[in-house]
Amino acid sequence: MNNHPMMNNTAMNRRTLLGRSAQGLGAVALASLLDPQVSDAAGTPGVLTSLPLPQKAKRVIWLTMAGGPSQLETFDPKPKLAEMNGQPMPESFTKGQQLAQLQGRPLTCFGPQHSFEKYGESQIEICSLFPHLGSVIDDVCLIRSMTTEAINHDPAHMFMNTGSQIAGRPSMGAWVTYGLGNEAENLPGFVVLTSLGRGGQNQPIAARQWSSGFLPSRFQGVQLRSKGDPVLYLGTPAGISRDQQGLDVDAIGQLNRMQEGLTHDPEIATRIAQYEMAFQMQASIPELMDIQGESAETLELYGCQPGDGSFAANCLLARRLAERGVRFMQLYHKDWDHHGGVKEGVALKAQEIDRACMALITDLKQRGMLDDTLVVWAGEFGRTPMSQGSGRDHHNKAMSVWLAGGGVRGGMVYGASDELGYAAVEDVCTVHDLHATMLHQLGIQHEAFSIKFQGLDAKLTGVEGASVLSKILM
Amino acid sequence: MKTCVLNVVLMLTAMLVHPVKGADRVSFNHDVRPILSDKCFFCHGPDSERREADLRLDDRAAAIEAGAINVNKPDASELIRRVLSTDEDEQMPPPSAKLGHLSPQEIETLKAWIEQGAVYENHWAFVPLKPLPETDQSVTSLIDEAVERGLEKRGLTRQPEADRHTLIRRLSFDLTGLPPTPEDIETFVSDKSPEAYEHLVDRLLTSTAYGEKMAVDWLDIARYADSYGFQVDREREMWPWRDWVIRAFNENKPFDQFLTEQLAGDLLPDATQDQILATAFNRLHQQESEGGSVEEEYRVEYVCDRVQTFATAFLGLTFECSRCHDHKYDPITQKEYYQLFAMFQNIDEAGLYSFFTNSPPTPALELTDAATRERLDALQQKVEAIEKSGKELKAARAAVFDEWVKTQSESLSEEKTTLPGELARFPLDEVTGGKLANTVQADQLATLAGGNQIVPGRTGNAVQFSGDDALNLPLGNFGRHEPFSVSLWLQTPDVKDRAVVFHRSRAWTDAASRGYELLIEEGRLKWSLIHFWPGNAISIRAVDPVPVGEWLQVTVTYDGSSRADGLTLYVNGQPARVDVIKDNLTKEITGGGGDNITLGERFRDRGFKEGLIDDFRVFGRELTALEATAIHDEVSAESLLSVDENSEATEDRNQQFEWYLSTIDEEWAKHLKTLQESRAEWYQAADGVKGIMVMRELPEPKPAYVLFRGEYTQRREEVFAGTPAALSPFPEDAPRNRLGLAQWLIDPQHPLTARVTVNRIWQSLFGRGIVQTAEDFGSQGARPSYPEVLDTLSAGFISSGWDVKQLLKTIVMSQTYRQRSIADKKVMEDDPGNEWLARGPRFRLSAEMIRDNALASAGLLVQRTGGPPVNPYELSESFKPAAASGGDGVYRRSLYTRWRRTGPPPAMIAFDAPRRAVCTAKRERTDSPLQALVLLNGEQYVEAARVLGEHVYLEADGDVPGMIEAGFLRCLSRRPDASEVEILSALYREQLEYFRQHSEGAEQLLKIGRAPRDAAIPVAEAAAATVLAQALLNHDASVVKR
């Protein structure tokens, strides 16, 4: 029995690298890398070689709005809350509930700080700060009844990413690349991008959020840094050209392969693959990051400057990663933690993301990729309808998320929160339901996708059970 | 080619399910507990809150009584009936639990177990260790035999002993964290004596590098870092504790002492400075100073972190689960969690550290060397001698006073009209251009801010405070050696829970209240001098509350002694009854900013809202009682000053004498001057001594409570220090504090301490523990792969007197350890984690070892033990970039790298070094492409390759095969074979040719890093040798221990 199914993959044996040809590895690899079309798209297969379900989505772009966006200034209109602005929050809503910083304080209704408008043929009502998104709302499925278990940032991210509040579980990107493999030859299967907001509430996001947990480490997310070298020490040392380093990497590979022959050590295969990927990334990452070649129209669409480290630039990079066969892209955009100044804060965030989200959907669609790319927009929790000064506290009873593409119905609203936006009341969704649905679209049956860990059958969708949100699927 | 298409679930569970065959005896721990734990305990287990139907299946008597188990009669047992049921309302686990059904095999196991008597066993890890068997056999051979039996059962055999090159490399990394030198290798390989291996072990165990290697794992456990963590993440100096750890390992301090000193060194009789320093272990958690944070919230977090670290480090239990509820799987109640909490909270600490000052949070140990200690002692003795001579002088001056009195007129009142030493007086009557007059120093005006108002006062006007705005005086930066006094009238409009009347400080928690202050706290006046609140301060508080709506005359004085009895509070001219709140001031009260007296407001504190202050006076001396009376009421002072020849011994007479000494007697004035000078000298020396956070037990335990959901605001039942009932009993004669806790841990009856420690040591050598979950020995943790090995080693460890070096030697002397790390393909694939030990250890080196190996191979490593942290090159690439250290700082061993929690060394993080936010018992071991880039392109590694290249070039005098051989020995500890020489020769030739044509590139390459280049080597050759050395440093065998 083979416990490391990935060890035996064809790709690795196929590339019994190039030998020491006249031109050396550098030149050959370089040639294939410079043009992604030339490169063999075989990639690396996953453990699930036959999928139980039809695969509607081949890849995921997850837009994580870190800090906890307010549903009340984004996607969940609440006229009743506006009416009750300044009045005490009816106790029937809040009695006995756990709150974060508002625990034990007087609770006052805080009306939505921005107006809402209807958009698209579907006439979905969203905050007027998001007109661009409104222009593509007919491709978007809005869920207004999402809930989560956690109420503080780190465990809430952990829950959203791994289905468990306690660190140590694999992040969804790791699960998915483990199961489905990676189609990209020259890039990791799970890539993480981060961008800072301008408001200042930029809590750090720990690398454990994209950990492979108890899955083999090559499934962990590889984070590209938004400023400076996108990857630490990506560039060759001064005086050493890429070709030169290619020869060195080739020699290292040969030595290691001899060692492998001597030792039958499967770990050496991992190491060889690691050096090959590193070498590929030295070419593929700069090529990926260089968005100069994008047309003026595209840059205008996203509204970003090449290399500005913005969320929009990351959205464009995500599309480029998707084109190159990367399985799972997760984009963190920070600064949504509006305990104070939610009005100005969300307005600033809207400026940073509204156009970029529209651009991503539009761009994927015009390239025919939206059908098999699942885009998800979600924070780690929502915010209270009660005021905390000029802001809102963390809240886990109601939040809004949206999905687009990947076989999900567009132009629909799923679920609802109560009239004050305090708790989801109709078609209440859990994070596990969201995960189950995403896996379903990827062709994976969530109940059967598990691994034994610490004596339990560990699943992304947890032990409490989860339901695929079939109503939102095409 | 993918040959086996596998259902993931089947593949992974197949390895773990142990079917029960026919008449086989069912083992509760092995066969039954995992089923019950997975499927039943969540609702029918130890957690009383979650328990359904009041049924528990973790307790035999309860399960039988409830009818769930009918002993020997599975078919008459409700448990079996329910798991077999297909009725949705009856079946177990219920469909709503979504735990699925029990498999037929699992049901058969349960049936067989009930049939065989439903025997429960204590969880294996909670069963006390058996003593070592009475045998002449060494522990080493006992464990070899146990492993051999295990292998035999699985049809496996041990691998032959590894070759000597492999052994010395393995041993050197395992015992010192460093590669062997080529000379060491030569010596060992050519030593044919049977004791050669043992001699090598002994030699390595005595090197100072041993302590450094052992310290690394302990720093992970202790979450050691050079910064506080969280958002502000300021740097802090805890490295003397790290040096203590290195020393302790090198001195082979027995583990029971190692543990006791770290947990409770401060509680040991006649504790030494080193023993107290050891307790810094408990203060290494993250700390917060972010503005607006709730002090108590973070204090609770710190204590919880101590409990969690303690439990992970010594018990191997996931105690943190019980912070919010009874443990779901292990027999630990929430109450027991808070019983441990009670032991770890009993220090005088604040939940926030100071933003505006750099002092370590209290309690802190002042770290002195012998010379400093001697000097401080001498200065202290000098002060004490002067204080003593003061008493004698006082007695002598009584007679002089008597004579002097006779020379005075009937009343002393002529002298009373002036109070000497007055520095400033603010009547607070009138504000002109935001300024208020000073009648002592006309040019030194007070400044009124914001919403404070001038209102009618006790005499003339007074200031009424908004609570948010200050009244600033242009003086008041007194040192703790200086006597001073402040006098004022005040009126409070209500009972203040907390209000700042006046202070000299930058802020409350943000400056740890550094300075002095008069507060109203719980309605009472509180007068304090503070270095760091709460642990380094003197403070007194009135017993009687401040009356509401009345004018009160308040005078506070300080005598320069740094003692609470040097503080006096007078209310309406009379000494107030006070409680001493704090009496430990050992450091300066100045600094941090806010160098002048401020009234009515403080940064992020509660001001004297709506309160009134009038006639504020400051004195540069300690006023006497008589003067305090005079300030309040001149008439009553006058009566005190009337001389009555017949009442020599009365209180009045004493007050007169004190007043006389303080204001008239020249000898006494001289004495005070000398005293102040000598105190200044002593304090100055003491203030310069660096402190480090440690534990110092409070005399009275702080009350402890169960915190509902673990939240600091939700106090419930009061609890007292104690340990979990399911483990060994608390020793009867042990104190109920951390020292008792340590004694409980090191009791040979304790089932966990030795097992957990031995397992971690084993893990450090084999890459995985005998219990794979080093952090969890509970019922959800892994079971030991070789229970006998773990127990034999643990019992041997205890009986050796907790001798860590001997434990290591016992393991590394075994054949199990000395095997080749490579077995045939089948074994490698069947048991990739080497659970069954059918081969020797093999795994990627740690972040520290990889970097140290590169430095050592290049001859760059500086082997100096201990000292402050340093910045290697990589910190310039960190999230919070810092310049590389000067001098040889970039060549120190990696454990000395500065560990900033929000900007940890990025290359080391790439190799899975933890961020040290919390206790880590086991590192991840990942292989990502980012690691290859670090080794190929990181400045540290390129420089190491450059210097290594020079060395091998010079050693071989430019002969290429010679260079390759020298490089192999340095980096891989072995010689290359012919094909390896061929591959690398080709590489060298290609590079040489290239660099001959691109000398500019070669020059650039040779400038990387700060090590000087050897100009004797031609540029192209040196550059080609660099690339050659890079290939060696990136070779699998350079980064993997085999």
Hey, are the CB atoms on B709 and A98 less than 8 Å from each other? yes
Q: What's the helix, strand, coil split of chain A in %, to 5? A: 40, 20, 45
Hey, are the CB atoms on A240 and B1034 less than 8 Å from each other? no
Q: Looking at residue B21, what is its pLDDT? A: 41
The number of residues in chain A equals: 474
Q: Looking at residue A99, what is its pLDDT? A: 61
Lowest pLDDT segment from B8-12, B467-471, B955-959? B8-12
Q: Looking at residue A9, what is its pLDDT? A: 33
Checking if the pLDDT of B848 tops 50, the result is: yes
In a domain, A283, yes or no: no
Q: Looking at residue B98, what is its pLDDT? A: 66
Chain A contact for B1009 (CB, 8 A cutoff): no
Mean per-residue pLDDT, A76-105: 80
Are B932 and B902 members of one domain?
Answer: yes
For residue B553, the SS3 value is: strand
In a domain, A18, yes or no: no
In a domain, A255, yes or no: no
Indicate the residue among B68, B89, B121 that finishes a domain: B121
Q: Where are the alpha helices (DSSP H) in B23-163?
A: 33-39, 41-44, 60-65, 78-84, 104-115, 139-153
In terms of pTM, does the model score above 0.95? no
List CB contacts (< 8 A) between B1000 and chain A: 239
Are B456 and B536 members of one domain?
Answer: yes
Checking if the pLDDT of A23 tops 60, the result is: no
Mind telling me how many Å the CA of B574 is from chain A's nearest CA? 42
First to last CA, chain B: 28
For residues A64-83, b (16+ Cβ closer than 10 Å) or e, as one string? bbbbbbbbbbbbbbbeebbe
Q: Sorting pLDDT into bands at 50, 70 and 90, what band is A1?
A: very low
Minimal Cα distance from A458: which residue of B? B9
Residue B309 · residue B919 · CB < 8 Å: yes
In a domain, B132, yes or no: no
Q: Which residues contact A265 (CB under 8 A, 6 or more apart)?
A: A259, B822, B828, B842
Residue B812 · residue B140 · CB < 8 Å: no
Residue A250 · residue A210 · CB < 8 Å: no
Are B466 and B399 members of one domain?
Answer: no
In a domain, B803, yes or no: no
Hey, are the CB atoms on B983 and A237 less than 8 Å from each other? no
Hey, are the CB atoms on B6 and A47 less than 8 Å from each other? yes
Indicate the residue among B609, B632, B655 that finishes a domain: B632
CA–CA gap between residue B197 and residue B191 (Å, rounded): 9
Q: Sorting pLDDT into bands at 50, 70 and 90, what band is A227?
A: low
In a domain, B145, yes or no: no
Lowest pLDDT segment from A441-455, B205-219, B999-1013? A441-455
Tell me, what's the ipTM? 0.80
Task: Choose among B868, B971, B942, B872: nearest CA to B913.
Answer: B872
Q: What angle do CA B855, B859, B862 make, to 5 degrees?
A: 70
Mean per-residue pLDDT, B318-346: 89
Owner of token pair 């600490």: B349
Residue B427 · residue B438 · CB < 8 Å: no
Strand partners, A413: A142
Q: Which of residues 954-993 of B touch A (CB under 8 A)?
A: 979-980, 983-984, 986-987, 990-991
Are B680 and B701 members of one domain?
Answer: no
Mind telling me how many Å the CA of B18 is from chain A's nearest CA? 13
Q: Looking at residue A22, what is its pLDDT? A: 31
Checking if the pLDDT of B16 tops 60, the result is: no
Size of interface A-B (CB pairs under 8 A): 225
For residue B697, the SS3 value is: strand
In a domain, A261, yes or no: no
Chain B contact for A274 (CB, 8 A cutoff): yes
Indicate the residue among B69, B99, B121 that finishes a domain: B121
Question: pLDDT digits over A323-359, tens only?
Answer: 999 999 999 999 999 988 999 999 999 999 999 999 9
In a domain, B498, yes or no: yes
Q: Where are the alpha helices (DSSP H) in B327-369?
A: 334-344
Which tokens go with A274? 């690691």
Q: Looking at residue A41, what is its pLDDT? A: 39
Range of the domain at B1010: 847-910+927-1042
Residue B504 · residue B319 · CB < 8 Å: no
Owner of token pair 């935001």: B434
Q: Looking at residue A106, what is its pLDDT? A: 75
The number of residues in chain B equals: 1042
Owner of token pair 């380093």: A245
For residue A164, the SS3 value is: coil
Phi and psi of A336, rounded to 5°? -105, 15
> Where residue A432 sits, what CATH number does that domain have?
3.40.720
In a domain, B752, yes or no: no
CA–CA gap between residue B838 and residue B150 (Å, rounded): 9
CA–CA gap between residue B748 and residue B750 (Å, rounded): 5
First to last CA, chain A: 39
Checking if the pLDDT of A30 tops 50, the result is: no
Question: pLDDT digits over B128-147, tens only?
Answer: 999 988 888 999 999 999 99
Checking if the pLDDT of B693 tops 80, the result is: yes
Q: Looking at residue A219, what is its pLDDT? A: 84
Q: What is the DSSP string of B638-666?
A: HHHHB--TT-TTSHHHHHHHHHHHHHT-H
Task: State the DSSP code for A90.
Answer: P
Q: Which of residues 82-111 of B touch A (CB under 8 A)?
A: 97-99
Task: Choose among B848, B909, B845: nearest CA to B875.
Answer: B909
**Three-state SS across B270-330?**
CCCHHHHHHHHHHHCCCCECCCCCCHHHHHHHHHHHHHHHHHHHHHCCCHHHHHCCCCCCC
For residue B332, the SS3 value is: coil
Q: Which residue has the higher pLDDT, B38 or B496?
A: B496
Residue A126 · residue A114 · CB < 8 Å: no
List CB contacts (< 8 A) between A254 and chain B: 983
Q: Sorting pLDDT into bands at 50, 70 and 90, what band is A50?
A: confident
Hey, are the CB atoms on A239 and B1040 less than 8 Å from each other? no
Mind telling me how many Å the CA of B555 is from chain A's nearest CA? 39
In a domain, B4, yes or no: no
Strand partners, B583: B538
Are B278 and B353 members of one domain?
Answer: yes
Q: What is the DSSP string of B948-976?
A: HHHHHHHHTTT-HHHHHHHHHHHHHSS--
In a domain, B401, yes or no: yes
Hey, are the CB atoms on B1030 and A248 less than 8 Å from each other? yes
Are B531 and B486 members of one domain?
Answer: yes
Helices B804-812, B787-799: axis angle to 10 degrees equals 140
Amino acid of residue B626: L
Chain B contact for A201 (CB, 8 A cutoff): no
Checking if the pLDDT of A283 tops 70, the result is: yes
Q: Looking at residue B791, what is its pLDDT? A: 97
List CB contacts (< 8 A) between A245 and chain B: 936
Amino acid of residue A432: H
Q: Which residues contact A194 (CB under 8 A, 6 or more apart)?
A: A205, A223, A225, A226, A314, A331, A332, A333, A334
Residue A307 · residue A354 · CB < 8 Å: no
Chain B contact for A40 (CB, 8 A cutoff): no
In a domain, B12, yes or no: no
Task: State the DSSP code for B28.
Answer: I
Residue among A49, A259, A452 whose CB faces B16 most closely? A452
Judging by beta carbons within 10 Å of its beta carbon (0-12, 13-18, 19+), is residue B479 exposed, middle or buried? middle
Mean per-residue pLDDT, A164-189: 88
Mean per-residue pLDDT, B972-999: 95
Owner of token pair 């101590």: B306
* Total domains present in chain B: 5
Percent of chain A with pLDDT over 70: 83
Q: Sorting pLDDT into bands at 50, 70 and 90, what band is B613?
A: very high
Longest dimension (CA), chain B: 117
Q: Looking at residue A279, what is its pLDDT? A: 92
Hey, are the CB atoms on B933 and A464 less than 8 Å from each other? no
* Total domains present in chain A: 1
Q: Sorting pLDDT into bands at 50, 70 and 90, what band is B400?
A: very high
Q: Looking at residue A100, what is its pLDDT? A: 57
Phi and psi of B761, rounded to 5°? -65, -45
In a domain, A180, yes or no: yes
Query: H or E element: which one contains A140?
Result: strand A140-146
Hey, are the CB atoms on B933 and A448 less than 8 Å from each other? no
For residues A140-170, b (16+ Cβ closer than 10 Å) or e, as one string? bbbbbbbbbbbbebbbbbbbbbbbbbebbbb
Q: What is the mean pLDDT of chain A?
A: 85
Are B401 and B457 members of one domain?
Answer: no
Q: What is the dihedral of CA B918, B919, B924, B930, to 10 degrees?
A: 40
Q: Looking at residue B324, what is its pLDDT? A: 77
Q: Sorting pLDDT into bands at 50, 70 and 90, what band is B412?
A: low
Lowest pLDDT segment from A254-263, B188-197, B485-494, B930-939? A254-263
Owner of token pair 């012998």: B370
Range of the domain at A181: 57-227+309-472
Are B428 and B450 members of one domain?
Answer: yes
Neighbours of B193 (CB within 10 A): 8
Neighbours of A205 (CB within 10 A): 19
Task: Choose among B40, B42, B30: nearest CA to B69.
Answer: B40
Which tokens go with B707? 């915190």
Are B312 and B453 members of one domain?
Answer: no
CA distances to A104, A106, B955 from A95, rounded to whole Å, are: 11, 12, 79
In a domain, A20, yes or no: no
Q: Looking at residue A27, what is its pLDDT? A: 36
> Where residue B74 sits, what CATH number does that domain have?
1.10.760
Pairing of strands A328-333, A190-195: parallel
State the number of CA atoms in the 13 A half-sphere of A8 facing the CB. 12
Are B268 and B386 members of one domain?
Answer: no
Q: Where are the alpha helices (DSSP H) in A62-171?
A: 79-83, 91-94, 131-135, 153-162
Checking if the pLDDT of B86 tops 70, the result is: yes
Q: Which of residues 221-260 of A touch B (CB under 8 A)?
A: 222, 229, 231-241, 244-245, 247-249, 251-252, 254-256, 258-259
Q: Which residues contact B165 (CB under 8 A, 6 or more apart)?
A: B185, B189, B973, B974, B975
Q: Looking at residue A31, what is its pLDDT? A: 36
Are B657 and B555 members of one domain?
Answer: no
Checking if the pLDDT of B363 tops 50, the result is: yes
Hey, are the CB atoms on A456 and B38 less than 8 Å from each other? yes
Chain A contact for B17 (CB, 8 A cutoff): no
Are B355 and B376 members of one domain?
Answer: no
Task: Choose among B736, B745, B586, B797: nearest CA to B261.
Answer: B745
Phi and psi of A11, rounded to 5°? -55, -40
CA–CA gap between residue B513 and residue B594 (Å, rounded): 11
Q: Looking at residue B702, what is its pLDDT? A: 96
Percent of chain B with pLDDT over 90: 75
List CB contacts (< 8 A) between B1007 and chain A: 238
For residue B471, the SS3 value is: strand
CA–CA gap between residue B1009 and residue B1026 (Å, rounded): 13
Q: Sorting pLDDT into bands at 50, 70 and 90, what band is B644?
A: low
Q: What angle do CA B822, B823, B826 make, to 5 degrees?
A: 130
- What region, left, alpha or beta, does residue B723 occupy, with left being phi > 0 and alpha being psi -120 to 50 degrees? beta
